[in-house]
């Protein structure tokens, strides 16, 4: 039996899992098998109670991911593109645990869109972001038009998507896509440090916080506020709420169990 290619590496350190796209010779270009494997591994980590926060990065210092695999896509039919790659992306966007993207090098096309599937983005000063699909005669297809316009507004999104240009990490930080720009070579370490901090926080509260923030993009304010209120009340049924408040009153560190 042929051995299955592994594109995705998973390392664990306490409650943080680091997921690495490992195809550096192709600048971590995202072929369909890779996206499906990534989706499967993220889903498994999402189900794993021992993991509280996930860091997503690309192998090597040249790319987070340089986009969908152009060689694979070049001969595809419309029907193949409609059915083939998107199921995996849908699974990735449904991951409930916090995901931090550590971007070193290129995050282009699907690479930028994948970074935007994360909840926080840490980028090296040498990182470059963009949606170059228009240079290939196509357009963004894994959420780029929607997430860029929701995050940056119409005019900046249009410039990125219509020019296909590359933008610096600093530019993306100024525009509100990147959380922090760090020195070259430090994106992964900084993302892991932040993930380790988030992993000490109450895990159910973190999941529900992510759910509520993402719901803000889907719902009118009134419905979003009601959703938040219900999630908030639900947390009063958890051990973590009792522990967190008791620890405050007793002036000690809280130890959350995710129960």
| Active site amino acids | 68, 110, 113, 133
Buried b (16+ CB within 10 A) or exposed e, 107-126: bbbbbbbbbbbbbbbbbbbb
The span from the CA of 209 to the CA of 203, in Å, is 10
Taking the least distance from each CB to ligand COA, the nearer of 168 and 219 is: 168
Taking the least distance from each CB to ligand COA, the nearer of 60 and 244 is: 60
Binding mask 105-134 for ligand COA (x = CB under 6 A): -x-xx----------------------xx-
Q: Does residue 27 touch ligand COA according to CB under 6 A?
A: yes
Q: Does residue 42 touch ligand COA according to CB under 6 A?
A: no
Q: Given candidates 19, 56, 66, 107, which one binds ligand COA under the rule CB under 6 A?
A: 66
Q: Which residues contact 232 (CB under 8 A, 6 or more apart)?
A: none
164-165-170-176 Cα dihedral, nearest 10 degrees: -20
Residue with tokens 């490992």: 22
Taking the least distance from each CB to ligand COA, the nearer of 129 and 175 is: 129
Taking the least distance from each CB to ligand COA, the nearer of 36 and 238 is: 36
Are 132 and 107 in contact by the 8 Å Cβ rule? The answer is: no
Q: Does residue 70 touch ligand COA according to CB under 6 A?
A: yes
Nearest distance from C-beta of residue 250 to ligand COA, angstroms: 54
Binding span for ligand COA by CB under 6 A among 68-76, 154-162, 210-218, 243-251: 68-76
Task: Determine what percent of the chain falls in helix, strand and coil, rounding each to the nearest 5.
Answer: 50, 15, 30
CB atoms within 10 A of CB 223: 12
Taking the least distance from each CB to ligand COA, the nearer of 62 and 96 is: 62
The token duo for 58 is 């690309």
Q: How many residues bind ligand COA (CB under 6 A)?
A: 15
Q: Does residue 208 touch ligand COA according to CB under 6 A?
A: no
The token duo for 97 is 């645990």
DSSP three-state, residue 231: helix
Q: Does residue 92 touch ligand COA according to CB under 6 A?
A: no
Q: Which residues bind ligand COA (CB under 6 A)?
A: 26-27, 29, 66-71, 106, 108-109, 132-133, 136
């Amino acid at each position: 039996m042929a051995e299955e290619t592994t594109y995705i590496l998973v390392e664990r350190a306490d409650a943080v899992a680091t997921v690495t796209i490992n195809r550096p010779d192709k600048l971590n270009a995202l072929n369909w098998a890779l996206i499906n494997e990534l989706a499967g591994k993220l889903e498994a980590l999402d189900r794993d109670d021992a993991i509280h926060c996930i860091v997503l990065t690309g192998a090597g210092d040249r790319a987070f991911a340089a986009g969908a695999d152009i060689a694979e896509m070049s001969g595809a039919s419309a029907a193949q593109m409609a059915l083939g790659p998107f199921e995996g992306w849908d699974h990735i966007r449904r991951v409930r645990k916090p995901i931090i993207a550590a971007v070193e090098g290129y995050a282009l096309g699907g690479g930028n869109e994948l970074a935007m599937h994360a909840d926080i983005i840490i980028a090296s000063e040498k990182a470059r972001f963009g949606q170059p699909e228009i240079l290939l005669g196509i357009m963004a297809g894994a959420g780029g038009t929607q997430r860029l316009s929701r995050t940056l507004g119409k005019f900046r999104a249009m410039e990125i998507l219509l020019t296909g240009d590359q933008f610096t990490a600093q530019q993306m930080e100024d525009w509100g896509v990147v959380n922090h720009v760090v020195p070259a070579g430090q994106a992964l370490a900084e993302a892991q440090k932040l993930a380790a901090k988030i992993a000490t926080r109450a895990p159910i509260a973190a999941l529900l916080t992510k759910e509520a923030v993402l719901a803000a993009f889907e719902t009118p304010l009134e419905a979003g506020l009601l959703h938040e209120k219900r999630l908030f009340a639900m947390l009063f049924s958890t051990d973590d709420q009792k522990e967190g408040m008791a620890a405050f009153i007793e002036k000690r560190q809280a130890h959350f169990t995710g129960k």
